[in-house]
Amino acid sequence: MTLTKRLAALALATAATGAQAADDLKIGLVLPLSGPFAAHGQQIENSVRLYMKEHGDTVAGRKIRLIVKDDTGIAPAISKRQAQTLLIQDRVDILAGFGMTPSAFSVAPLATETRTPMIVMNAATSSITTKSDYVVRTSFTLPQVTTPIAAWALKNGIKTVYTIVSDYGPGHDAEGQFIRAFEAGGGKIAGSTRTPVSTPDFAPFLQKAKDVRPDAVFLMLPAGEQGVAFAKGFKERGLDKAGIRLIATGDITDEGVLDAMGDAAVGMITSFHYSQAHDSQENKAFVQAYTQAYPGERPNFWSAGGYDGMHLIYETLKKTGGRTGDAFMAAARGMHWESPRGPVSIDPVTRDIVQNVYIRKVERVDGVLQNVEFDTVPDVKDPGK
């Protein structure tokens, strides 16, 4: 039997039998747990397990079981193979995780074939939710967090910008949205560069930007070591002394790498949906619980996406009486709650998250580097759709 026929048979069997109240409900997590993004994938798994610890492992009479698979990072063939194993052998009821865009793209058709809800907890290319009617996202999109930084730049005397983005889906999304928003407000793009996804030597890109002498560089890179290298290179090559400002989407100053960036990060302006320093009771409780459960680690936007992903799963199952499939997807549309990041909801049309986007500045707070929020753009939908 071909894979497509096996998946089709699985979908028919699931539709015919329905969920039995006593059955365990299996969630298959597909995450990068080795390779360059392993620390980030671990953040999602940590927050998923934290949510279950806080809220119990039984919902609507069904015991929740996690089955975790490593897709190693940007490796769509591995992501697809792991999802196939989860669906066919493990018979999971829900797919979740998906740290990187290529992973989500490769698995979305399987969610459609099997009518399996697929909760994207990080991958941020706008079009992911268009690839299957069974995808719902609890993280963010790059266009969603990019438009506010373009607006902030225009209001703060930045008239020319050189854009540098990573050459993959999220980078393309950020680049396109920044250029559209900045030029629409009267700004000028002085030049654009895309860098390799694998860790590049940023020296030639930094020198090109310095030679152009824009008012600012707009940056989007995958969270992690690339951002550390770029921030330090920006200072070392004297772009700041040349009067060039650095603005970016907030993944560049992810809490997991801020300490490694050190003083090179101080003063950087970013726009993003989550900060460990967000001032709310919900976030203070989340940060306290996370740091107690995982000593020495700081919660970040990957953590928030995983934690809210589990909140959506639990609350949706309560509404459906433990059913998944089409009933789950119908119940998830329009859901809203108070997240550690602030008020959020699921757009009933696009199945994407609607949330506040914050303008932040990296500062030392009690000796710790933090993304300190100083402005809020409320209830931002994904402008990429």
Residue found under tokens 């089955």: 67
Mention every residue, 6+ apart, whose C-beta is less than 8 A from residue 130: 385
Pair 369, 247 in one domain: yes
Residue 260 is encoded by which pair of tokens? 């490694």
Pair 250, 367 in one domain: yes
Pair 111, 161 in one domain: no
Pair 39, 80 in one domain: yes
Is the residue at 385 inside a domain? no
Is the residue at 79 inside a domain? yes
* C-alpha span between 244 and 98 (Å, rounded): 35
Is the residue at 160 inside a domain? yes
Is the residue at 190 inside a domain? yes
Tell whether the model's pLDDT for residue 19 goes beyond 50: no
Pair 79, 28 in one domain: yes
Give one DSSP letter per residue of 46-105, joined into a string. Answer: HHHHHHHHHH-SEETTEEEEEEEEE--SS-HHHHHHHHHHHHHTS--SEEEE--SHHHHH
Residue 168 has what pLDDT?
Answer: 87
**What pLDDT, in 10s, does the model give residues 301-313?**
999 999 999 999 9
Pair 120, 149 in one domain: no
Strand partners, 361: 269, 372
Pair 373, 311 in one domain: no
Whole-structure pTM value? 0.92
Instruction: Name which of 251, 326, 320 is nearest 11 in CA terms.
Output: 326
Is the residue at 375 inside a domain? yes
Question: How many domains does one find in the chain?
Answer: 2
* C-alpha span between 183 and 217 (Å, rounded): 15
**SS3 label, residue 355:** strand
Is the residue at 95 inside a domain? yes
Pair 198, 314 in one domain: no
**225-236 and 203-212 helices cross at what angle (nearest 10)?**
50
* C-alpha span between 215 and 190 (Å, rounded): 9
Pair 178, 100 in one domain: no
**What pLDDT, in 10s, does the model give residues 354-363?**
999 999 999 9
Find the mean pLDDT for residues 203-222: 95
What's the CATH number where 69 sits?
3.40.50.2300
Between 384 and 7, residue with greater pLDDT: 384
Residue 11 has what pLDDT?
Answer: 55
Pair 346, 233 in one domain: no
Could you tell me the pLDDT band of residue 320, with boundaries at 50, 70 and 90? very high
Tell whether the model's pLDDT for residue 9 goes beyond 80: no
Residue 267 is encoded by which pair of tokens? 């003063």
Residue 82 is encoded by which pair of tokens? 């792991």
Is the residue at 328 inside a domain? yes
Query: Residue 54 sits in which domain range?
Result: 3-140+280-351
Strand partners, 364: 369
Residue 319 is encoded by which pair of tokens? 């509404």
Find the mean pLDDT for residues 366-374: 96
Tell whether the model's pLDDT for residue 59 goes beyond 60: yes
Is the residue at 203 inside a domain? yes
Pair 131, 261 in one domain: no
DSSP 351: -
Residue 117, amino acid: P
Average pLDDT of the chain, as a whole number: 93
Pair 126, 154 in one domain: no
* C-alpha span between 348 and 344 (Å, rounded): 13
Between 1 and 61, residue with greater pLDDT: 61
